[in-house]
Amino acid sequence: MKNILLIDFGSTYTKVTAVDAEAGQLLGTADSYTTIETDVGEGLENALKKLEKQTGVISYDARYACSSAAGGLRMVTSGLVPELTAEAARQASLGAGAKVLKVFSFQLTEDDLDEILSIKPDIFLLCGGTDGGNTECILHNAKMLASVPFDFPVILAGNRTAARECERILAGHEVYVVENVMPKFGVLNIEPARLKIREIFLNRIIQAKGLSKAAELLSGILMPTPSAVMRATRLLAQGCEGETGIGDLICVDVGGATTDIYSMADGMPRTATTVYKGLPEPYDKRTVEGDIGMRYSVKGIVEAAGLPRICQLSGLEEKQVSALLEELSSHPDMIPAPGSDLEKLDYALASMAIETAVKRHAGTIEETYTLMGLTYIQSGKDLRNVKQVIVTGGSLIRTAHTQDIASHALMNRLSPMSLMPLEADIRVDRKYILAAMGLLSEYYPQTALRIMKKELVYDGHSEQKNS
């Protein structure tokens, strides 16, 4: 036996998963309130007591953890052109598991500096210009940052010609220089920035998040929870030595405050008559919809979908929906009783959370006429051929309507220009193991992949919706 404990310190719940890595067996899962305001160790201890009731007393050979407690990893990025280096910086941050609070383009202003200082990010990612290209913008932004007092680390991932001068300008601050996120026009190079973000998270951020005591109990690995989920979904899609993956997929995590989408797919044009527009997106892409959540961001769902659509899906009248939404804003901890109006509303909210988030994540296509005849212009990822949708989050795993809700991740006739999946098998993470398997994959990828294949429950096949 090789018993491994995997811990996810969430903002609300601390989740624990026990695995026998040698046998490739999931031994048990449990959760408890995180208690970030007092001592995260208290939430961990309570979760372990629950786990012990399932598994009995276990001696663990290793303990690994990830965390999104206290707001997770909060980042601000700056680049030159919004569609290019600024977008590359955003992709690097999201891919590293961060919550990107603001993306600045072009030259920073005094008002921008005031906003940055008010945000108080954990890390600032400073980019701009291709290698050998524009240096004026990134040098200006470095000087602007140096003119104000700040205590967050800065990662320089822009034009290599200006990197060392920027470093001198920011002397006296915690500064790290990595390779340019976009060394050539239209070419992404985000992995060096991702690795540095994780390193800073390990060495510095855990102190600020009150996790240092808990870190002493660990054998290694403390990363942002979204980074762990990203690793798990990449492994599930691609496989590893000795074990095949399941192919291209999207993963939808609907939370109380945000909805995270992960896609593992190339997503580039598939026909000679389609032209790609904009910066190519990474195979492993993550987006976070900060205005889409089942409780704290419920109004964002309604604004995006429209009240009539929510009423149509829930079968409730506008007056009923409005009253329930008002109640949820005061009591976000409300849990729906079976058959209640709140359960009907949650069905509609979860459906629209998924539809809105996946639609924003996926690319779009438009028709145009050229000298060559009808041509299609693609922006973003083409996910129409993705055949696997993984869903997680309380609103999806605690309902009998998981497949119906998850089917809203597929293209519908209301959005014919969207490049969402056309049809897919729906799999459900009912035991909240994705982040845990991302952690486990660092040392035991084959075991993590086999457990996911077994535990991510098949919930049926869905096809393009008519409405």
Domains (ranges, CATH) in the chain? 3-70+209-218 (3.30.420.40), 73-203 (3.40.50.2300), 239-291+361-463 (no CATH)
CA count, 13 A, side-chain hemisphere, 105: 9
The per-residue pLDDT for 221 is: 67
pTM of the model: 0.87
The per-residue pLDDT for 38 is: 54
The per-residue pLDDT for 35 is: 59
Decide: 403 and 460 in contact? Cβ < 8 Å: yes
CA triplet 350, 354, 358: central angle to 5 degrees?
170
Q: Is 56 buried (19+), middle (13-18) or exposed (0-12) by CB count in 10 A? A: exposed
The per-residue pLDDT for 254 is: 93
The per-residue pLDDT for 409 is: 96
The per-residue pLDDT for 334 is: 84
The per-residue pLDDT for 309 is: 96
The per-residue pLDDT for 465 is: 62
- In the chain, % of residues over pLDDT 90: 66
For the chain, residues with pLDDT lower than 70 are: 11, 34-41, 69-72, 204-217, 220-221, 464-467
Q: How far is CA 234 from CA 41, 240, 258, 407, 428, in A?
A: 30, 10, 21, 22, 16
Residue 175's H or E segment, with its range, is strand 175-177
Per-residue model confidence as pLDDT tens digits over 293-324:
998 889 999 999 999 999 999 999 999 999 99
The per-residue pLDDT for 248 is: 97
The per-residue pLDDT for 204 is: 66
Task: Give me the helices (H) in 56-210, please.
Answer: 85-95, 110-119, 136-146, 160-169, 191-200, 206-208
Decide: 57 and 231 in contact? Cβ < 8 Å: no
Structure-block tokens of residue 444: 């035991």
- Residue 295 phi/psi, 5-degree rounding, is -135, -65
The per-residue pLDDT for 394 is: 83
